[in-house]
Amino acid sequence: MKRVVIFIFILLNVLSFSDTFNDNEDERTILRQEQRVEQERLQKEFQKREEDFNKLKLEKAEISTTKT
């Protein structure tokens, strides 16, 4: 009887650990998705600012050439 109780106790601990591990995996997956979305947003923002900067540089160059 004692062995059965010990076996059940160990089995429940293993199952509990497995559930906790799966929950942690789910959280990691969600965090990765959020990081990916944030990275894509930052990349788009960077590209837009780079395009705006290049437009300003081009306008400045055009103004400089028309003045001379």
Which pair of structure tokens corresponds to residue 40? 């894509």
Separation of alpha carbons 4 and 1, rounded Å: 5
Q: Is the pLDDT of residue 68 over 80?
A: no
Separation of alpha carbons 23 and 3, rounded Å: 30
Separation of alpha carbons 41 and 68, rounded Å: 41
Give the pLDDT confidence of 48-62 residue by residue, as tens digits: 999 999 999 999 998
DSSP E strand stretches across the chain: none
Separation of alpha carbons 53 and 60, rounded Å: 10
Give the pLDDT confidence of 12-46 residue by residue, as tens digits: 888 787 778 778 888 889 999 999 999 999 999 99
